[in-house]
């Protein structure tokens, strides 16, 4: 069964900076934003939903899960975060007391892929950052749809900020490292789907209540597959309710179904190319699977993310956008001269040009790569 890397981290970036904006006085730790006063411009869940783009039944939960489960403000780099990758406090990196200690951020887990930056407080290097939010117009679709006001849009993008290489919140947007971003694509950490015609895929997930691993990633992958191979014949959606595991669990059933599919391919002695064998040898009963209720709730509904609300592509695979100057004609509403001048000040280097590929966007370089 193919495990598809969907690159969760870009969503965690967007969610974290937005949570800082929406709850500016909150440390984002439990109970965190649940008890902190929200931003006066976005005082209710309904007012924040158009920017989140998430599950309408629980609009604050999706990003709350991403942030609170992935280290929150404390981050993986702070010993008190309780995200210490199994090490003792004495083994962990500390910029003052232990600069050669182990760093537990995802960028450091993948330092052999992303490369490192040597700094005085980390002579062994810090993993380069492969995510970016420069030029991202948070809430753009909501603005264009009249769901938020110009003042809300401008204030949000003026103050949302980013974070630094130590995951510290900073006023500036996060400028991703081009080398690290290129290697994220080359290595398959961002899976563009350009190699997936070589494998049968059963993509299984249960009900999506708007948690950290939201189901939009499945739709991203399907769109990437259509772009790369022009069909979805080797990709099966396998939805299911609880129980997930056990002899009768739907994940177990998916594994057994995949075993039958692989067995059929293995027995095929024809001279067909592997991609065609995968399609032709799929057992007839292995098809997109869901009940009417599940289809209604989770198949027909494709929730957005902050990045897609900002105008990002439906494939969800641009980690760093190319930039262009803001242009009045790109917005269906009319900016006052003062508001448009403010927009230009907020984005001095330009806004995302989603009509172009991302910076260093490319397909998988190959399998079994070394770095």
- Which is it for strands 351-352 and 162-163: parallel, antiparallel or unpaired? unpaired
**pLDDT value of position 20:** 86
pLDDT at residue 46 greater than cutoff 50: yes
Cα pseudo-dihedral 348, 350, 352, 358, rounded to 10: -110
What are the angstrom distances between the C-alpha of 173 and each of 7, 26, 35, 104, 147?
20, 20, 27, 22, 24
Domain membership of residue 125 (yes or no) is yes
The residues with which 248 forms a beta bridge, in sequence order, are none
Do 44 and 161 belong together in one domain? yes
Q: Is pLDDT above 50 for 1?
A: no
Other beta carbons within 10 Å of 216? 21
Is residue 128 domain-shared with residue 205, that is, in the same domain?
no
Nearest to 361 by CA among 240, 213, 201, 189: 189
**Where is the domain boundary, 185, 203, 218?**
185
Q: Classify residue 309: in a domain, yes or no.
A: no
Answer yes or no: is pLDDT of 309 > 90. yes
pLDDT exceeds cutoff 90 at 156? yes
Per-residue pLDDT at 292: 55
| CA–CA gap between residue 226 and residue 284 (Å, rounded) | 21
Residues 130 and 214 in one domain: no
The verdict on residue 109 lying in a domain is yes
Predicted pLDDT of residue 119 = 94
Cα pseudo-dihedral 258, 264, 266, 267, rounded to 10 = 160
Q: What pLDDT score was predicted for residue 48? A: 93
3-state secondary structure of 103: coil
How many angstroms separate the CA atoms of 37 and 353, rounded? 35
- DSSP labels for 270-330? S---HHHHHHHTS-TT-S-B--HHHIIIIIS-----HHHHTT--TT---SS--EE---GGG
Percent of the chain topping pLDDT 90: 53
Could you tell me if residue 328 is inside a domain? no
- 287 in the same domain as 148: no
Looking at the structure, do residues 199 and 164 belong to the same domain, yes or no?
no
For residue 139, what are its two tokens?
A: 């809430």
Residues 84 and 158 in one domain: yes
Number of domains in the chain: 2
Percent of the chain with pLDDT over 70: 80
On whether both 266 and 179 belong to a single domain, the answer is no
Are 133 and 174 in contact, with CB atoms under 8 Å apart? yes
H or E element at residue 119: strand 116-119
Inside any domain, residue 364: no
Beta strand residue intervals within 147-284, DSSP E:
162-163, 169-170, 201-205, 235-239
Whether residue 352 is contained in a domain is answered as no
User: For the residues 25-32, what does the mean pLDDT come to?
Assistant: 62
Which of 100, 102, 64 shows the shortest CA–CA distance to 83? 102
Are 334 and 279 contacting, i.e. CB atoms less than 8 angstroms apart? no
Boundary of a domain, candidates 260, 281, 299: 299
**Is residue 169 located within the same domain as residue 236?**
no
Tell me if 8 sits within 8 A of 189, measured CB to CB: no
Pairing relationship of beta strands 323-324 and 351-352 according to DSSP bridges: antiparallel
pLDDT of residue 298: 53
Residue 2 lies in a domain: no
Residues in the chain: 371
pLDDT number for residue 342? 98
CA–CA gap between residue 12 and residue 133 (Å, rounded): 11
| Domain match, 162 and 290 both | no
* Inside any domain, residue 119: yes
Q: Taking all residues of the chain, what is their mean pLDDT, rounded to a whole number?
A: 84
* Residues 207 and 66 placed together within one structural domain of the fold: no
Residues 181 and 237 reside in one and the same domain: no
Structural domain boundaries enclosing 103: 9-185
Count of CB atoms situated within 10 Å of the CB of 309: 24
On whether both 136 and 235 belong to a single domain, the answer is no
Domain finish residue from 276, 299, 322: 299
Let me know: does 108 contact 68? Beta carbons within 8 Å. no
């Amino acid at each position: 069964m193919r495990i598809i890397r969907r690159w969760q981290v870009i969503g965690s970036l967007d969610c974290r900076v937005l949570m800082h904006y929406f709850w500016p006085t909150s440390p984002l730790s439990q109970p965190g934003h649940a008890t902190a006063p929200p931003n006066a411009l976005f005082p209710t869940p309904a007012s924040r939903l158009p920017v989140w783009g998430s599950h309408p039944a629980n609009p604050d939960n999706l990003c709350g899960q991403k942030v609170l489960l992935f280290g929150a403000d404390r981050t993986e780099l702070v010993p008190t975060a309780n995200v210490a990758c199994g090490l003792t406090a004495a083994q962990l990196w500390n910029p003052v007391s232990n600069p050669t200690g182990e760093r537990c951020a995802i960028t450091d887990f993948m330092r052999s892929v992303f490369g490192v930056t040597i700094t005085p407080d980390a002579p062994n290097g810090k993993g380069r950052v492969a995510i970016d939010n420069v030029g991202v117009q948070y809430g753009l679709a909501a603005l264009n749809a009249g769901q938020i006001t110009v003042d809300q849009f401008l204030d949000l993008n003026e103050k949302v900020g980013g974070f630094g290489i130590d995951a510290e919140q900073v006023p500036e947007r996060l400028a991703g490292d081009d080398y690290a971003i290129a290697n994220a694509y080359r290595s398959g950490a961002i899976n563009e789907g350009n190699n997936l015609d070589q494998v049968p895929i059963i993509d299984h997930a249960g009900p999506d209540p708007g948690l950290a691993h939201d189901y939009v990633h499945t739709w991203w992958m399907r769109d990437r597959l259509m772009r790369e191979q022009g069909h979805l014949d080797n990709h099966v959606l396998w939805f299911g309710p609880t129980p997930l595991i056990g002899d009768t669990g739907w994940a177990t059933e998916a594994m057994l179904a995949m075993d039958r599919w692989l067995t059929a391919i293995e027995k095929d002695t024809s001279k067909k190319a592997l991609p065609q064998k995968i399609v032709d040898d799929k057992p007839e009963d292995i098809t997109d699977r869901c009940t009417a209720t599940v289809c209604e709730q989770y198949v027909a509904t494709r929730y957005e993310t902050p990045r897609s609300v900002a105008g990002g592509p439906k494939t969800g695979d641009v980690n760093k956008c190319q930039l262009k100057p803001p242009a009045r004609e790109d917005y269906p509403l009319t900016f006052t001269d003062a508001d448009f001048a403010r927009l230009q000040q907020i984005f001095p280097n330009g806004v995302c040009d989603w009509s172009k590929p991302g910076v260093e966007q490319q397909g998988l370089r190959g399998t079994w790569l070394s770095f």
